[in-house]
Structure 1
Amino acid sequence: MTAIISTPCSRELGDELRRLRETSTEFHGRAMAVQLGWDPSKVSDIELGKVRASDVDIVQYLATCGKNIDFIDAFRGRYYNAFDLYFAQLPDNLRTLAMMEAMATKIVSYDILTVHGLLQTEFYARELFVDGQFEAPQDIERFVQARMERQAIMRRPNRLECVFYLHEFALRMRLGDASLREDQYLRLLFNTHILRIVPAHVTAFRSAVTLYEFGKAAPVVYTDTDTAEVYAQDSVAVARTKRLFQRLDAVALDAEQSKRKLAEYVSGLREDPHDGRTDLA
């Protein structure tokens, strides 16, 4: 067992081990340690993703949970790169991102073509999945529900610190009908204290990115595409991302200016007779 910096992936897989112990055995953490002949802190550290377990440790742990060799080999394959400072995974993995958001103390993001998932309305999120045609129709509702559940962190009494930079291009995206877009604009209007619009003429920043900071764990840079989610915990990547947000801070509209800009888009919908809906006025 090797002490090493934890990552979002290691914390997710550690949590998966904890859930396997709780659902497949009758052991609490200390009893599991006794069963394995380990120090109790070893079980805790592995389940928290704080240390890298050896192959032998993983085999012993999963065998105690009653898992067969095929399950163990598959898990070891996923665990092998869990502590890498850069890693990518399929975008349908919902747990890693949700865990990272739930643990974060601060989130700073920059989005270009779409509103950040933590600020999306349910209809906006659904239309994104439908319009993209990447996900199987039977999976869309599950993904939408997961996105809505993630937003619970925004309603906590001790809500984490957030700043969302949103490029004006996302406001111009004609996603869905006018009613859908108006509802999304209004959702953003209610969050202008954490939202800053990047004007359309500012085009130097071309990649969406989010920085997650934690109380005790190292910061994580996150970006995604239609085919992969990428996590970076390397100090160089984090430093570059922080410089990006410093530059965005200098060019983005402030909260009050952003509020006025959003109001312009709501008014524009109500005045446009060609937008597919005429009853907004």
Structure 2
Amino acid sequence: MTAITSTAYSRDLGDELRRLRENCTSFGGRAMAAQLGWDPSKVSNIETGKARASEIDLAQYLATCGKDLDYLLDFTSRYRHAFDLYFAQVPTNLRTLAMVEAMATKMYVYEILAIPGLLQTEAYARAMFLETGHESLDDIAGFVALRMERQAIWRRPYRPECVFFVHELALRMRIGDAKIMEDQYLRLLFNAHIVRIIPASAVGLALQSMITLFEFGKASPLAYTESDLAKVFAQDTSAVTATRKLISRLDAVALDEEQSRSVLAAYVSGLGEDPHDRRADLA
């Protein structure tokens, strides 16, 4: 077992091991350690992603959980990249992202053409999946449900400190009908204390990629971005530094809380002005 800086993926896979132990054995952490002949701290550090398990460690652990060779080979293949400072996942894998959001103490989120997922209404999320045309109708309900489940962080007594930078282009991008957009604007208004609008005139910032910076109580900061092809997590110092610089630029250009609130209220009022054009006027 090797002590090393933990990553979002190492914590995710460590938690997967913990769940296996709890679901497939009757052992608590100390009993599992005794069964394996390990120090109790070794089980704890592996399950929290604070230390890299060797292939022999994984074989012993998974065998105790009743898993076969095929399971071991699959998990070992994934675990090989657990401590990489850059790693990518398929876009449908939400487990690591949800865990990162749940553990974060601070989040700085920047979106350009869509409302951030953690602030989307259910109807907006559904309409967005329909608009993209990438998912089958059978899958959309599941993806929407998962997005709503991620929003459970707002119901917790200790919520992360958040700032959502939303480019005005996302407000102009009409998703669904006027009722869907009205409800979405009102959701943003309700959360105006954590929403900062980037004016449409900030064209240079519209050319950036969407990005999120996560900060944690004890773990290292993490930068995150995504596309239709992959979700990318970067814990490398240069990536985090570049993300902090972008956030500083956003903070300098963004409207303050009251200004953002006024812009959002104007979008609610303006919905009745052109009821036939549901597409964004990006001119």
TM-score (normalizing by structure 2)? 0.95
TM-aligned CA deviation for residue 109 of structure 1 = 0.8
Q: What is the one-letter code of the residue matched to 2:47?
A: E
Q: Deviations over 1:59-110 (max 9, x none)?
A: 1111111111111000000000010000000111111011100100000011
Q: Is the 8 A contact 2:9 2:96 kept in 1?
A: yes
Equivalent residues in 2 for 1:186-205 (5 A)?
186-205=186-205
Alignment-derived partner of residue 46 in structure 1: 46
Alignment-derived partner of residue 273 in structure 2: 271
TM-aligned CA deviation for residue 165 of structure 1 = 0.2
Equivalent residues in 2 for 1:17-96 (5 A)?
17-96=17-96
Alignment-derived partner of residue 109 in structure 2: 109
Equivalent residues in 2 for 1:124-135 (5 A)?
124-135=124-135
TM-aligned CA deviation for residue 273 of structure 1 = 3.8
Q: Is the 8 A contact 2:178 2:275 kept in 1?
A: no
Separation in structure 2 between the aligned mates of residue 156 and residue 174 of structure 1, nearest angstrom? 31
Q: Deviations over 1:174-204 (max 9, x none)?
A: 2111111111001001111100000111021
Q: Deviations over 1:185-227 (max 9, x none)?
A: 0100111110000011102122100000000000000000011
Separation in structure 2 between the aligned mates of residue 134 and residue 49 of structure 1, nearest angstrom? 34
- Whether 1:142 and 2:103 are equivalent positions in the alignment is no
Alignment-derived partner of residue 281 in structure 2: none
- Whether 1:235 and 2:237 are equivalent positions in the alignment is yes
Q: Is the 8 A contact 1:269 1:275 kept in 2?
A: no
Separation in structure 1 between the aligned mates of residue 174 and residue 152 of structure 2, nearest angstrom? 27
TM-aligned CA deviation for residue 135 of structure 1 = 2.4
Stretches of structure 2 lacking an aligned partner (at least 5 in a row): 279-283
TM-aligned CA deviation for residue 275 of structure 1 = 4.0
Percent identity among equivalent residues?
65
SS in 2 for 1:87: strand
Separation in structure 2 between the aligned mates of residue 230 and residue 159 of structure 1, nearest angstrom? 24
Separation in structure 1 between the aligned mates of residue 119 and residue 246 of structure 2, nearest angstrom? 21
Q: Is the 8 A contact 1:90 1:229 kept in 2?
A: yes
Q: What is the one-letter code of the residue matched to 1:245?
A: I
27-36 vs 147-156, greater mean Cα deviation: 147-156
- Whether 1:251 and 2:253 are equivalent positions in the alignment is yes
The total of aligned residue pairs comes to 276
SS in 2 for 1:134: coil
1:208 corresponds, among 203, 210, 216, to 210
Alignment-derived partner of residue 163 in structure 1: 163
155-164 vs 48-57, greater mean Cα deviation: 155-164
- Whether 1:172 and 2:179 are equivalent positions in the alignment is no
Q: Deviations over 1:104-155 (max 9, x none)?
A: 0000011001011110000111111122222232222122111111112123
Separation in structure 2 between the aligned mates of residue 71 and residue 157 of structure 1, nearest angstrom? 37
Q: What is the one-letter code of the residue matched to 2:99?
A: M
TM-score (normalizing by structure 1)? 0.96
RMSD: 1.1
Q: Is the 8 A contact 1:127 1:176 kept in 2?
A: yes
Q: Deviations over 1:218-237 (max 9, x none)?
A: 00000000110000001111
206-215 vs 133-142, greater mean Cα deviation: 133-142
